[in-house]
Amino acid sequence: MSQLTLSPSAAGSAKTSRQPDIRVLKRRLLRVGLLLILGCVLYSMLLLLLGQTSYPSNTPYLVTDVLVISTCVAALTALRNLKHVRLVEIGLCALSLVYLLYWDVVLLLSGLLPRAEYQMTASSTFLLCAALMCLSVPRQHLPLALAGLFGLHEVLTWGALLHFPWGRLHSSQLINDVTLLVIMLCLSLIGAYQHLTLLAQQEAELMQRLAHTDPLTGLANRRQMYAALQSQHPTAVLLMDLDNFKAINDTFGHDAGDLGLVSVAAQLREVFGPSGQVGRWGGEEFIALLGHGSAQQALGLAEEVRGRIEQAGTHTNLPLTMSIGVAFAHPEETPTQTIKRADDLLYLAKREGKNRVYNAG
């Protein structure tokens, strides 16, 4: 059978929220952060090569800068695939934590008073690690993770500093610690605000989906189909009704009847596709709006639906059959009038013996 082009689904129309994937937003943030780190490290390497630093030996720092650059390039390459975002953020968080604590331990064990360059580098690394934690650590564990990071860093740093008499570096470190605490608090508040915003957005999307979706079958409900009718002018309307459904409920029970409706909805999705405009009109009645295609194609789809429902009855042990009225739209009539004609044709199909398709131009 040739394929009939269907109008977009109500569930997938403009009513559906088009919020970007959270991984896309995270990838953007990670890319910007990695590029900033690359810029800072390259600037640091330039200062080292020009002899503008006061390190006792430049070699360890050059090796560290090369490793950081390699890590950034590898992460940027991995971020080309959206599936790797979570892996990259966790990996960067772990590496930055190891990097920070490594130099804290080196400073503590060396017994040397750190220089101003180390203080600046340690603060930047700490903020980077805290920001990555905000991205990768679950919200409920984030305050404890940030507090643990800050506490461990401070114990190691002050453990090294307190071996020496109080001086300008100690005062600078104290001011630096207060600044880090304020920034961490801001990061936590921003994370909490984003979490609450995301929850509110998800709840709004859920309420909108529930308002336009039949809860049993997952198809568009009558309200959504009416909205689709007002925004589109279908070339054909299929009004479909299960035969003797009340008797099925009375004989097999309402749970079995519900399973039958779910089975019918699955068959309709297979026939009309995920982008098909099909919904539950009410009770055991369903409706499909066809966009473009010939009358022969529309009737072919209707017959396919009828045959599938009859076969589905054998799999569910329910005597399921379906009568269908197919009305083709006239230029001078409204969609509501087209539905009325489809309903009249459905009535004729029922009166003539059920389990059949009736149509009229």
d(CA 349, CA 351) in angstroms, rounded, equals 5
Tokens 């340690």 label which residue? Answer: 122
- Choose the catalytic residue: 89, 117, 203, 284: 284
270 is catalytic: no
d(CA 143, CA 253) in angstroms, rounded, equals 53
d(CA 140, CA 149) in angstroms, rounded, equals 16
Run of H or E including 358: strand 357-360
d(CA 49, CA 280) in angstroms, rounded, equals 72
d(CA 349, CA 360) in angstroms, rounded, equals 12
To 10 degrees, what angle do helices 116-136 and 85-110 make? 150
What strands, in cross-sheet order, belong to the sheet with 236-242? 277-282, 285-290, 236-242, 322-328, 357-360
- Secondary structure (3-state) at 12: coil
d(CA 237, CA 217) in angstroms, rounded, equals 20
d(CA 171, CA 119) in angstroms, rounded, equals 12
d(CA 220, CA 60) in angstroms, rounded, equals 64
d(CA 342, CA 323) in angstroms, rounded, equals 11
Identify the CA nearest to 171 among candidates 183, 181, 158, 184. Answer: 158
- Please give the single-letter amino acid code of residue 285: E
DSSP 195-245: HHHHHHHHHHHHHHHHHHB-TTT-SB-HHHHHHHHHH---SEEEEEEETTH
- Please give the single-letter amino acid code of residue 155: V
Q: What is the CA radius of gyration of the chain?
A: 33
Tokens 């559906």 label which residue? Answer: 16
> Active-site residues: which are they?
284
